[in-house]
Chain A
Amino acid sequence: MSEYAVTPEQVEKLYQRLDREAKAGGYNLNPDKSFTLGLVESLLINEARYGYWACPCRLADGVREKDLDIICPCDYRDPDLDEYGACFCALYVSDAVRDGLQELKPVPERRPPGGPTAHPEEHEHDEELVGFTRSGIPVWRCKVCGYLCARPQPPLKCPICKADKDRFERFA
């Protein structure tokens, strides 16, 4: 399948970890285990290729800054779970899809063509929206799950969705 060898043991180990973390944060992995194991294998292949979990179902650039929004879990997971009951890959599904109450359908691509960094002019006013809280401590927002925390720097990993520090934005 690929020049990057991934063993079934590695896949199972990461599957168990993602499943545990998903449940702890109120998320669900797709209950179709063979489907999900395929995606987990692809995450490991992308980790070997790029050094991070680029979305298996999207074309990664290979430069982390350009791919930040599509590092799994991607910035689009939660809105897609809300609207379609699944993320773009269907690695994560809603409770309704998990329980068979909602049919799993193809999820249209929500990411802007080329990713957010392809149109930086749309973000040039972002800085103006940023202020300080009364305490003077910045508030950081996880772009994946919306978790907010007030501290001098964002956490190394989001305690809710485990996204890395560079997925946080200044909120206030």
Chain B
Amino acid sequence: MAEPRGSVAGIHQEHQVKFYGLSTCIWCRKTRQFLEDEKVAFDFVYVDLLQGDEREAVKDEIQKWNPHLSFPTIVIDEATCVVGFKTDELKEALGL
């Protein structure tokens, strides 16, 4: 899990799911585990592992949805945003 970006395959591919997290954040770890357990396909980015312009670009991307720039931030279909380890909200947004 040392890579800053990647994709996780899953059975649920109905939605485009972007997971923004920090590699040191335990709530991010729990949220990612939830998505994996639910077999949701998603792309992930660990912002603390990025540097320079790439990091700034991703920060801007997150702040469009979550001005507090807090983690985890999950953006679904470029339409819905869930901040924090909130499995009920994620289930509803993802139709699980």
Instruction: Contact check, A106 vs B26: say whether CB atoms are below 8 A apart.
Output: no
CA distance A35 to B26 in the complex (A): 7
B84 touches A59 (CB 8 A): no
Chain A interface (Cβ < 8 Å from any Cβ of B): 1-3, 35, 38-39, 42, 45-46, 56-60, 89-90, 106, 108-109, 111, 113-114
- Residues of B near any A CB (own CB < 8 A): 1-2, 22-29, 47-48, 59, 63, 67-71, 84-86
A106 to B85, CA, bound (A): 7
Q: Would A59 and B86 count as touching, CB distance under 8 A? A: no
User: How long is the Cα–Cα vector from A38 to B1 in the complex, in angstroms?
Assistant: 15
From residue B36, how far is it (CB to closest CB) to chain A in Å?
Answer: 16
- Enumerate 16 A-B pairs (CB-CB under 8 Å) in ascending A order: A1-B23, A2-B2, A2-B24, A38-B26, A38-B29, A42-B24, A42-B25, A57-B22, A57-B25, A57-B28, A59-B47, A59-B59, A106-B86, A109-B70, A113-B63, A113-B69
